[in-house]
A and B are shown apart, each in its own frame.
Chain A
Amino acid sequence: MTLIDRRAVLAGLAAAAAMPAAANAQARTKITYWAWTEHVAAANAVKGEFEKQNPGITVEVVNLNPFDLQDKFLVALAAGAGGPDVALILQRRFDGYLPTGGLLDTTAAMAPLKDSFPTSVYASLGTGGKTFAVPYDQNPAVYFYRADIFEANGIKAPLETWEDVVAAGRILAAKGIFIGHVSSPSGVPGVANLVQYLQSRDAQIFGADGKVIRDNKLARETLQFYFDLARKEKIVFESRNNAPEFFQAIKESKIAGYAVPAWAVFRLQKEAPEHAGKWRVMPWPKWGKDQPATTGAWGGNVLAIPKVSRNKEAALKWAMFIGANELTQVKIWQEGHLVPAFAPALRSPELLKGEDYLSGQSIYEAGLKDRTLNGFNYFDWAKAEVIIGNALDLMFGGKTSPAEAWAEIEKQLTGQLGR
């Protein structure tokens, strides 16, 4: 073999050896994204654009029950394997994932965008000046109401304060119609429902330092009010969240009000399509005429990336694409009426578009634009939800008064959580 031949053979061998590397370079990186229902729809709606912008990355969107997702992700972090590349995490549960040390530090990526998110949302992303998530959405509440029933009973909407709601509720209750809903027995959604009331009043359960606020007068009063709506005034319908009897009552026009986040419009539309044009939306009532115009929230969501993800860079790109991008944040509103966390998206005219089901009314304009959302301190929420839920169940079961229930909540939270 001549020298040239040998060189040719060696070059050929080198090229052959390099082939897998070249093939790998061209191979697409696949990332998995865990989310649920409306978030899955939103992700599927924008993933084509993401893949176009990032030709080397494909996204597999996995639909999971939100509570199963939270548990599986936590276990995956503990095990150091088995998780997705990006997971949608309930903001109220996020605190529990931080001690795992298993989340990717997003501080560098998020820092330039700090001013693009509400302070409370940004503050919930981590601890000690570091962030371990990308914001995704907020879940501020609005008040859906039946315009036809209000009008027939001489009730003028929007109702400005809770006092007005109670007054209107009494008028409707006399005719066997409820002006709202209370989750009883509570379970997790029932606790989220109560938190809306607490948050709108800035009645925190935990201080910013994570300690349980003792002898919490404001929270106790709010719980009393919540209880009185159901048991003293008897103006709200009591049932489990999403129970068949609740939707039956909606269909039978026995419920004329529903204080929930904006996504509930799809639920109403699905369960009572025949009521199209009868429902409207108004902002969350104030706690007094001179009180701030605020609202509560069901708890927003954030995007978390496990450190063990094999595609961290691609995962972060996807998280930033759906969490910190005007185009996709507008899409989550269009697909699921999830209120963007990314402030520039809130200025999009898309949010002002009307809903056919609400006779052309824009949920954002009529129910949210003029309300601010207080932050809410969630700590050890997986345990806290059980403690609060059980106390609410005993209260609605007639075993304790609201004052006793709140005292028990404080005692249990302090004792069991050591906070």
Chain B
Amino acid sequence: MLWPRLRRGLTPYLFLAPFFLTFIAFWLGPIIASLIYSFTDWRGFASPRFIGFANYTKLFADPRFWVALKNTLFYGVVYVTILNLSALALALCLDSLWLRFKNAVKVGFFLPVTISLVVAAVIFEMIFAKGVGLLNIVQKGLGLGEIDWLGDPRFSIWAIIILRVWRALGYYAVIYFAGLQGIPGDVKEAARLDGCSPWQVTRHVTLPLLKPVILFGVIMSTIWALELFDEPWVLTKGGPADSTLTIVIYLYQAGFQYVELGYAAAVSYVLTLMIVAIAIVQKLLSGREVA
């Protein structure tokens, strides 16, 4: 009598077990393990030795970490601002009734999302090439002179920003466009009937109603920005002179090139805490009405 009841009670847990087992093995386990390793001198070859906060002390004393942090934050602020403003503007254009060939424009902007990074990097290497690149040809045509986009430390991070915005714009525009489609038409219609201009409708009706979606876009793009690795790694390997060194490249070098795994774990925890802190701040700044 007891067993059938117990069996019925266990059944849902058995169905849920695969998820929890994989979650523990591949998510929770490594998260806890890396926290423990961050307090050790583990290099992968011998047993780890507990060294307290030495990795964290070393991290904050390393000038390259501060360069990586500065680059990542600068990139993050610029990239998130440009990306979200551009994506929002594009989504508003797509949402407007007057835009013709709407689908063609959507496809055009979304295509870069589907292109592999390697292909994109090859294309942009040619675009950014010193002297003979498309960008330099246009610049010279406009009388703006020549810029060594990938070779000059003053511009290399901007080259990465341009590439990343190009790749992500379509994705975020689609998110904002979906958000705009969800705003009831009668609200905007009522505003128009009350005499609001198109800008006033956007400013006072559309954007406030879109705020949760904007917050989502900003938080997601911030997280992605702080995890920047692929583009600078493929195009510049963090150079020249560490001008495109990001925290994740710094982490990669520590972990996979120098095999200082305990130290790399400490870097990853600092990065995680940064992401959590920034996400909380963004949520607080966005106001209560989003919740």
Contact = CB atoms under 8 A, between A and B. Distances in A.
B211 interface: no
13 contacts: A71-B257, A75-B259, A77-B45, A79-B44, A100-B44, A187-B237, A187-B240, A239-B130, A245-B132, A245-B133, A382-B257, A383-B257, A390-B241
A78 B241 contact: no
A15 interface: no
Nearest to B252: A71
Contact of B44 (A78, A186, A239, A394): A78
A248 B261 CA distance: 42
Interface string A41-64: 000000000000000000000000
Contacts of A75: 44, 256, 259
A95 to B, nearest CB: 13
B129 A74 contact: no
A245 B129 contact: yes
Interface string A79-107: 10000000000000000100111100000
Interface in B220-249: 236-237, 239-242
A181 to B, nearest CB: 13
Contacts of A399: 241
B217 to A, nearest CB: 33
Contact of B45 (A71, A100, A390): A100
B253 interface: yes
Interface string A390-419: 100110010100000000000000000000
Interface of B: 43-45, 125-126, 129-133, 150-153, 236-237, 239-242, 253, 256-259, 261
Most chain A CB inside 10 Å of its own CB: which residue of B43, B237, B242: B237
A184 B131 CA distance: 14
Nearest to A99: B45
A128 interface: no
Given A187-B237, A393-B240, A394-B241, A243 B125 contact: yes
Contact of B132 (A184, A248, A386): A248
A103 B288 CA distance: 59
A389 interface: yes
A393 B241 contact: yes
Contacts of B240: 185-187, 393, 397
B258 A78 contact: no
A382 B258 contact: yes
A167 interface: no
B150 A240 contact: yes
Contacts of B241: 185, 390, 393-394, 397, 399
A239 B43 contact: no
A308 interface: no
Contact of B237 (A77, A101, A188, A383): A188
Given A101-B45, A393-B241, A244 B125 contact: yes
B98 to A, nearest CB: 40
Contacts of B257: 70-71, 74, 382-383
Nearest to B156: A185
A245 B236 CA distance: 15
B256 A71 contact: yes
Contacts of A386: 253
B239 A244 contact: no
Contacts of A70: 257
Given A78-B43, A185-B239, A185-B240, A239 B132 contact: no
A354 to B, nearest CB: 33
Given A78-B261, A99-B45, A244-B125, A393 B239 contact: yes
A223 to B, nearest CB: 16
Given A239-B151, A393-B153, A102 B256 contact: no
Contacts of A96: 259
Nearest to A68: B256
Given A100-B45, A390-B242, A393-B239, A184 B258 contact: no
A347 B126 CA distance: 43
Nearest to B150: A240
Given A77-B44, A100-B44, A100-B259, 9 more contacts: A77-B45, A99-B45, A100-B45, A101-B45, A243-B130, A245-B131, A248-B132, A390-B241, A393-B239
B106 to A, nearest CB: 31
B155 to A, nearest CB: 12
Contacts of A248: 129, 131-132
Interface string A206-248: 0000000000000000000000000000000001100111001
B169 to A, nearest CB: 25
Interface string A169-212: 00000000000000011111000000000000000000000000
B26 to A, nearest CB: 15
